[in-house]
Structure 1
Amino acid sequence: MKLSRVASFLTRGPRVYRSPGPEPIRYGAVLTKSNFSVSAVKDNTALLYRKHGEPSQAVQLESLDLPHMGPECVLVKMLAAPINPSDLNMIQGTYAVLPELPAVGGNEGVGQVMEVGERVKTLKVGDWVIPRDAGIGTWRTAAVLKAGDLVTLPKDIPVLSAATLGVNPCTAFRMLTDFEELKPGDTVIQNAANSGVGQAVIQIAAAKGFQTINVIRDRPDLQCVCDRLMALGATHVITEQTLRRPEMKEIFRACPPPKLALNGVGGKSATELLRHLQSGGSMVTYGGMAKQPVTVPVSALIFKDVKIRGFWVTQWKRDNKHDEDALRNMLDELCILIRAGKLAAPACAEVRLQDFRKALEDAMRPYVSTKQVFVM
């Protein structure tokens, strides 16, 4: 059965868009050293960049020899890996952390353990794994990685959910958990609501009983995007223009002013979120798609005593590197939501590694809500 067909069979969420699938694999098959080993993977392919620049031009598809597998390492066959904005920023050379060049692209994805080193006790053949941290390089067919750099996921969740779990849903979960003590009925307001993080915020908030006001840019397919976000559990979906209009008073008659604002845009959009935040509330910035600074009105600080915070999930993972329960408990809770049908992967376009140029170009187009995912 093709991986794309397996994903379709397991996914019970939003519509998934597909391109021609890869070669067939046996879903969940346990492959042992005798039939899949480092020495057998001579044609390992990866999306590599040797210099920073425009992603679709800087990245090349190359064959790589896998290194010798040490006693504390595992051989991982990659199953699927998405293209995230942070991946593009790394290739462009504008991200906060940059790997040494040449580097394999991709910070997120799911793979299956095919072989384990003699000292590895935490992983076994057949396990599904995702990276603990950024910079591993997931856009490849196989990799030899340190066991300590990986964390397991259950194999009873959809492939696309597993491939897209480690960044956006984790970001959404932590922001909804760590900055304000929210109770059922409380309100969260966010911009970039149709982004990967935004869609995860909507679903996790709905599962916890929080109301959400979701701000998106005006666009040609506005009604379609609104309908999709409402289907995910959004309480209100509005445009940036509505955020500045008196109609907001009608919304606040139906729900309390927000305790928490989540900003992935910056610029004027962030300032407007602050205007609607209740006294003592928090605005958490996790992205800056507008590439404009966040301007905080003095009145918001003096008269409303709002808190301005930032969040980067990579830093959270590093800060909690030695707290095994912190990451494990979060992933377990997210997987419970996935199994219950309350947290679905975003709409994805499955593409082959060979079609990387178009995938990278599509990932950078404006008003595109579909996440490009490499399926190996």
Structure 2
Amino acid sequence: MTSSTLTFTSQFQSHTTEFLHLQPISLPEVVGTAQVKVKFLAAPVNVLDLVVLAGKYPVKPQTKYDQALVPGYEGVGVVIEVGGLVTALRIGEHVLPKDHGLGTWRTHTVVDADKLVRIPTPSNPVFASLLKMGYTPAYLLLQNMQYLKAGDWVIQNTATGMIAQAVIQFARLQGVRTVNIMRDRKDFDVVRSRLLALSADMVLSESQLEALVQVQPLSHTRRIVLAIDSVFGSSGSRIANQLVQGGTYVSLGFLGGGGEVKLDVNEGLLFYKAVEFKGFRTSRELAGWSQEERSDLWAWMLKLYNKGQLKAPEVEIMHWGSPAQAQDGEELEKKLLDVVEKTANRVVGMPKQIFVFEQ
């Protein structure tokens, strides 16, 4: 069996793929009694993966090959061999990683069966590969961060991101409305129409929001109880200030610069509005979920997708084949690393990058 993996040996210093390499892997002919052999079908390149490559994410990669770490925290695969004592999984069943750190940027793996979660056969493996870190965070943000009632409003920035688009769709299913903020861009009207088609209730650019709130906060006419901030800094401050009394601000990421950028937490938010400030990590929110509970959640999401109630984001696919010769391996490595660099140097509105493994 021809297999390959991306690995890295150290956190990068100058550029994202500095220590990232493609190498062939040898899989055992016979899996352990409690193990399964999995062929990966699709694996996204997420911003979180870049944080992992920088050595700055608290959950470290759990898999090594020749002492090098295997990146990739999300993906979907199919079981192609099972150990003699494995009863929870069967050949041909599809699986997602149970926890962060499994290492999905590889064609195949042999892994303990209890590190995987069974899902129904997906009609679209690319969509299934996005469930764990795209749609699950969106669901948990609306379920765990603030008690939401029909008619409540959520405000979020980076509205074109995968999680934000999923928030729009899950909010619609709950009767919750959304204000969605995105960067100023030339194709604003086109993107706004696309978000409205997903059931966004209000779409504004950063400059439009800034102009509107100089007249009056959006919360004067909307019950905005949850703010989801993926930027921090001035953008995060603006959406925090739209919350009603007792609302919740959630920090989801730091696209605006993280520690170098400050959030304006003023007296009005803390004292008069009593806004609660929280940080969100998917791994922490899922920590108490059993394999069965995760399986049920992801099966439900796949059912929603099949019924047209959840839609996949725009994606760009990189086909990961099996290099037959050394020169093919060098060419494939360059193409794979270019995809990672493209995500690191992403421009506004760039589609999600996905590795799709040859069948």
Q: Deviations over 1:3-36 (max 9, x none)?
A: xxxxxxxxxxxxxxxxxxxxxxxxxxxxxxxxxx
Q: Tell me, what secondary structure is at the counterpart of 2:212?
A: coil
Q: 1:366 and 1:156, CA in 2 relative to 1: closer, same or farther beyond 3 A?
A: closer
Per the alignment, residue 369 of structure 1 pairs with: 350
Per-residue deviation, 1:192:
1.1
Q: Deviations over 1:37-67 (max 9, x none)?
A: xxxx2x2111111222133332211101124
Contact 2:219–2:243 under 8 Å retained in 1: no
Per the alignment, residue 221 of structure 1 pairs with: 187
Which one of 322, 344, 353 corresponds to residue 311 of structure 2? 344
Q: Deviations over 1:270-326 (max 9, x none)?
A: 1111111010011111111112233311211100011111110012222x15x3454
Query: What are the equivalent positions in structure 2 for 1:48-127 lying under 5 Å apart?
Result: 48-53=7-12, 54-67=15-28, 69-99=31-61, 102-127=68-93
Confirm or deny that 1:244 pairs with 2:210: yes
Query: What are the equivalent positions in structure 2 for 1:157-172 lying under 5 Å apart?
Result: 157-172=123-138
Q: 1:255 and 1:343, CA in 2 relative to 1: closer, same or farther beyond 3 A?
A: farther
> Which gives a bigger RCO, structure 1 or 2 (Cα 8 Å, sep 6+)?
1
Per the alignment, residue 311 of structure 1 pairs with: 280
Cα RMSD of the aligned pairs, angstroms, is 2.0
Q: 1:299 and 1:132, CA in 2 relative to 1: closer, same or farther beyond 3 A?
A: same
In structure 2, runs of 5+ residues without a counterpart are 321-331
Per the alignment, residue 186 of structure 1 pairs with: 152
Matched residue type, 1:293: K
Q: Deviations over 1:143-166 (max 9, x none)?
A: 001111111111143111101111
Per-residue deviation, 1:93:
1.5
Matched residue type, 2:339: A
- How many residue pairs are counted as aligned between the two chains? 333
Matched residue type, 1:192: T
Confirm or deny that 1:131 pairs with 2:97: yes
Query: What are the equivalent positions in structure 2 for 1:139-288 lying under 5 Å apart?
Result: 139-246=105-212, 252=218, 256-288=222-254
Query: What are the equivalent positions in structure 2 for 1:316-331 lying under 5 Å apart?
Result: 316-318=285-287, 320-321=288-289, 323-331=290-298
- Tell me which moved more, 192-201 or 353-362: 353-362
Contact 2:152–2:225 under 8 Å retained in 1: yes
Matched residue type, 2:136: C
In structure 1, runs of 5+ residues without a counterpart are 1-40
Contact 1:187–1:255 under 8 Å retained in 2: no
Per-residue deviation, 1:248:
7.9
Runs (4+) off by over 6 Å? 247-251
TM-score normalised over the length of structure 2: 0.87
Q: Deviations over 1:189-220 (max 9, x none)?
A: 00111111111111111222211100111123
Q: Tell me, what secondary structure is at the counterpart of 2:56?
A: coil
Per the alignment, residue 325 of structure 2 pairs with: none
Q: Deviations over 1:219-276 (max 9, x none)?
A: 2332222222111111111111122223686994996231111111111111111111
Contact 1:179–1:282 under 8 Å retained in 2: yes
Contact 1:129–1:150 under 8 Å retained in 2: yes
Matched residue type, 2:278: R
Q: Tell me, what secondary structure is at the counterpart of 1:52?
A: coil
- Tell me which moved more, 114-123 or 366-375: 366-375
Q: Using the alignment, how far apart are the partners of 1:359 and 1:208 within structure 2?
A: 36
TM-score normalised over the length of structure 1: 0.84
Q: Using the alignment, how far apart are the partners of 1:294 and 1:149 within structure 2?
A: 38
Sequence identity (%): 32
Q: Tell me, what secondary structure is at the counterpart of 2:86?
A: coil
Matched residue type, 1:50: T
Confirm or deny that 1:332 pairs with 2:332: no
Q: Deviations over 1:317-367 (max 9, x none)?
A: 22x15x345423432332232122121221111102322122112212221
Q: Tell me, what secondary structure is at the counterpart of 1:184?
A: coil
